[in-house]
A and B are shown apart, each in its own frame.
Chain A
Amino acid sequence: MITKRWLVRRASILVFTFIVALLLDFTLPRLVPGNPVLTMLTELEESGRTVTPEMIKGIYALYGYNPHESILTQFLAYMGQLIRGNLGISYSYYPQTVSYLISISLPWTVFLVGSATVISWLPATYIGMYAAGTRNSKFDAILTPLLTFISQVPTFWLAFLLLLFFASDLKVLPLSGAYSRYLRPGPSLAFIVSVLQHAILPIASMAIVSLGGYLIHMRNTMVGVMSEDFVLVAKAKGLPKRRIIRSYAGANAILPNVTMLAMSLGYVFTGNILVETTFSYPGIGYMMSTAVFNDDYPLIMGIFLVFTIVMLLANFLADLLYAVLDPRVVLE
C-alpha cells in the first residue's frame, strides 16, 4: 500500500536530490581558481580551436556566469538554460551540443546493458530458487565459491579475456565499436547483423558477472525463506516440493531480487562506463570516460545530470514496485 504521505515525502527527496546534483554542477566549475569561463576558453584554445565571440557569449550564458551578479541570480540563470534543454557545447566534439551527444549515445547503452540485465536476471532468479534446496550439499562447497568469484571479477577485465580469445586469437568477433564502419546505419540486414556481432562480447561480459551476483542473492534469500514457519507448515501438509518452492517460498524470495533488478536499471546507464570504454562502444559510459579524459567539462556535467535523473527514477520505481508486489508493505 502506498500512502499519500509517502508519495509527497519521496517526491520531495527526489526533487531535493536533483537540486543537490544541480548545485554540484553549478559549484564545481566555480571552485576552480580564477574565472571559470576563461579557464574553459583557454582549454578550448589549447585543444586547437578558434574561439569566436559567439562562443564566449554562449559559454557565459550557459553557466550563468557573471561576476557582477549575485550567486543566486547566477544560479537562476543557469537553471533557466537547463530547463530549455541547453546543456552547453562539448569541447572535444565541438561544435556538437551536449544534449545531442547524449541523445545519440544513450540508445546504445540502453540496448547493451538492458539486454545484459535481462539475460542474467531471468536465469539467475530461476536457478537460485531451486539452488536453495541444496543447502549444505555440493552447491555450498563448489558453486557458492565459484559464483562468488565470478561476481567479483572486474567486468572490464572479463571483457579483455573474451576479447583476447574471440577477437584477437580466433578473430571471429570484432574488437571494438558498435557496428562495422563500412556500413551505413539503417534498417538493413547487414547492419543489424553487424550490431549484434559487436554487442555479443560486451553483453556477455556484463551478463556473466551480474549473473553470479543475482544468483547468490536469490539463493541466500531463498535459504532464509525456506526456514520460515509457513514453509514448515506447507511441508507438514504434504504439499509437493515443487509447489512449495515455487508458490510458497519462491513467491516471497523473489521480492528482494525484483528490487535488486529495479535498482540495477539505474546502473543500466552508469555501471557500464568501464565496459563500454574497453570496447570503445559509443554509449554514454564511453562518452563519460572520454569526456573526463579530455577535460570536456560541459559534457561531464551534462552526463552526470542525466545519470542522476535516471538513478532517481530507478530508485522511485524500485520502491513502488516493491509495494505493488508485496501487499504487506506499507509505504508511509
Chain B
Amino acid sequence: MKFSKVTDPLVLLARQIYLALKVFYHNKKAFVGLVITTGFVILAVFAPWIAPYNPMQFNPSQAWQPPSLKHLFGTNYVGQDIFSQFVWGSRVSLEVGFLAGVVVQLLGNTLGIVAGYKGGLLDEILMRVVDIFLVLPSFPLLLLLIAFIPSRGPLVVAGIIILTSWPGHTRNMRSQALSYKEREFVQAAKASGYGTLRIAYTEIFPNLISLTMAGMMYAVTSAIGAEAGLDFLGLASASTLSWGTMMYWASSEGALLNGSWWWLVPPGLALALVGFALVMMNYAFDELFNPRLRSV
C-alpha cells in the first residue's frame, strides 16, 4: 500500500482512472458491455445515414412483409420499414436514458455529499425527503404525474423520471460521504478554508467515482426501462418514435394475432441488450470498488 499516504486529490483521481482503465482493459464483461453500448450509441448518432428509409413513410402495398434483403426487419401494418424505425427509435430511448441518468448523478452526488459532509438541519431535512421518495412506488407515481401533464414529449418524460429516481443515489452518496467526513485530508482541506462544494467535489468525490459510475449505470438502465414502459402503455405523445412506441403499435395493431414476430422482437431485444451491456460494465466498476471481487 505505497499509495496510502497520498492525499492529493489529483493523484487519487489519476490513480482511480488508471485502475478503471486497467480493469476495463482486462475485464471481458466490461469489454462486451462497452462494445454493445458503443454500437447502440453509433446507431443513434448516425441514424440518418444508417436508416435506409424514412421511418414514418407509409407504403401500404408493402405491408406485413417478413424480413428480407430489401427490408432487413420486415415492414409493419402500413408498410413502414421496421429497421429504419428501429434505428431512429434508439434515439429517444438512449437520449431519455442518458439524460435522466446523468442528471440523477449530478443531483445525487451534490446533494448526497454535501448533506453527508455538512450534516445538521440540511442533512436532516434532505434525508426525510429522500425517505419519503424512496417508499413512494415510483412507476405508479410516474403514471400519476404523467396523467396530469398535458405535454408528454421525451424531455418531460425524462424530467419525471429524474424526479422519481434521484433519492436512491443521494442516500448512497450521503452514507459514503459521511465516512470520509472525519478523514485527515478532508479536515486539512477544511482547515485551509476550502468551501463546501469544493471539498465535496475535489476531496470527497474522487473517492466515490466507481460508486458514481455504478449508480449511473443503474440510473440509466432504469430510466430507459421506465421510458420504454410509458411508451409501451401508449402514454407517449403520438409523434414519438421509440422502441417503446414500436411495441405499443405492434401490440395494438395485432402483430401477435398474425404472428409477425419481426415487428415485436427487435425493439425489446435492443432494450434487453442495452440493459445487459450497462450491467456488465457495472460489474467491472464493482470489481474496481470492491477489490475482494477483483478477478484480474
- Is A114 part of the binding interface, using a Cβ–Cβ cutoff of 8 Å? no
Stretch at the interface among B169-177, B200-208, B226-234: B226-234
Q: Is the CB of A152 within 8 A of B135?
A: no
- Is A277 part of the binding interface, using a Cβ–Cβ cutoff of 8 Å? yes
Tell me the minimal C-beta distance from B134 to chain A in angstroms: 8
For B221, the chain A residues whose CB sits under 8 A away are: 152
For B261, the chain A residues whose CB sits under 8 A away are: 161, 164
- Is B136 part of the binding interface, using a Cβ–Cβ cutoff of 8 Å? yes
For B251, the chain A residues whose CB sits under 8 A away are: 160, 278
Tell me the minimal C-beta distance from A164 to chain B in angstroms: 5
Q: Is the CB of B232 within 8 A of A156?
A: yes
Task: Choose one: A160, A289, A307, A311; the contact of B247 (CB below 8 Å).
Answer: A160
Q: How far is the CA of A232 from the CA of B165 in the complex (A)?
A: 40
- Is A75 part of the binding interface, using a Cβ–Cβ cutoff of 8 Å? no
At the interface, is chain B mostly helix, strand, loop or mixed?
helix
Q: Is the CB of B235 within 8 A of A293?
A: yes
Stretch at the interface among A13-21, A65-73, A118-126, A239-247: A13-21
- Is B279 part of the binding interface, using a Cβ–Cβ cutoff of 8 Å? yes
Interface size class of B (residues with CB under 8 A): 35 or more
For A301, the chain B residues whose CB sits under 8 A away are: 144
Contact with A along B253-296 (1 / 0, CB 8 A): 00011010100110111011101100110010000000011010
Q: How far is the CA of A157 from the CA of B141 in the complex (A)?
A: 22
Tell me the minimal C-beta distance from B246 to chain A in angstroms: 11
For B141, the chain A residues whose CB sits under 8 A away are: 24, 304
Task: Choose one: A169, A288, A289, A308; the contact of B136 (CB below 8 Å).
Answer: A308
Q: How far is the CA of A295 from the CA of B234 in the complex (A)?
A: 13
- Is A32 part of the binding interface, using a Cβ–Cβ cutoff of 8 Å? yes
Q: How far is the CA of A104 from the CA of B280 in the complex (A)?
A: 42
Tell me the minimal C-beta distance from B152 to chain A in angstroms: 11
For B293, the chain A residues whose CB sits under 8 A away are: 223-224
For B140, the chain A residues whose CB sits under 8 A away are: 270, 273, 288, 303-304, 307-308
Q: How far is the CA of A273 from the CA of B233 in the complex (A)?
A: 9
Q: How far is the CA of A175 from the CA of B256 in the complex (A)?
A: 9
Q: Is the CB of A300 within 8 A of B143?
A: yes
Q: How far is the CA of A289 from the CA of B135 in the complex (A)?
A: 21
Nearest A residue to B275 via CB reads: A152
Which A residues from 73 to 104 make CB contacts under 8 A with B?
A: none
Task: Choose one: A140, A289, A310; the contact of B233 (CB below 8 Å).
Answer: A289
Q: How far is the CA of A151 from the CA of B222 in the complex (A)?
A: 12
Q: How far is the CA of A158 from the CA of B269 in the complex (A)?
A: 9
Q: Is the CB of A304 within 8 A of B144?
A: yes
Which B residues from 208 to 258 make CB contacts under 8 A with A?
A: 221, 225, 228-229, 232-235, 247, 250-251, 256-257
- Is B46 part of the binding interface, using a Cβ–Cβ cutoff of 8 Å? no
| Chain B interface residues (CB < 8 Å from chain A) | 29, 32, 128, 131-132, 135-137, 139-141, 143-148, 221, 225, 228-229, 232-235, 247, 250-251, 256-257, 259, 261, 264-265, 267-269, 271-273, 275-276, 279-280, 283, 292-293, 295
A-B contact pairs, 29 of them (CB 8 A): A17-B136, A20-B132, A20-B136, A24-B141, A28-B144, A28-B145, A31-B148, A32-B148, A140-B295, A145-B276, A152-B272, A152-B279, A156-B229, A157-B269, A157-B271, A158-B268, A161-B268, A223-B293, A274-B233, A277-B232, A277-B233, A288-B143, A292-B235, A293-B233, A293-B234, A297-B148, A301-B144, A304-B140, A308-B140
Q: A13-B132, A154-B268 are in contact. List 18 more A-B contacts (CB 8 A).
A: A24-B141, A136-B295, A144-B29, A144-B283, A145-B276, A148-B283, A149-B273, A151-B279, A152-B272, A152-B276, A154-B225, A160-B247, A164-B264, A168-B259, A277-B233, A293-B235, A297-B147, A300-B144
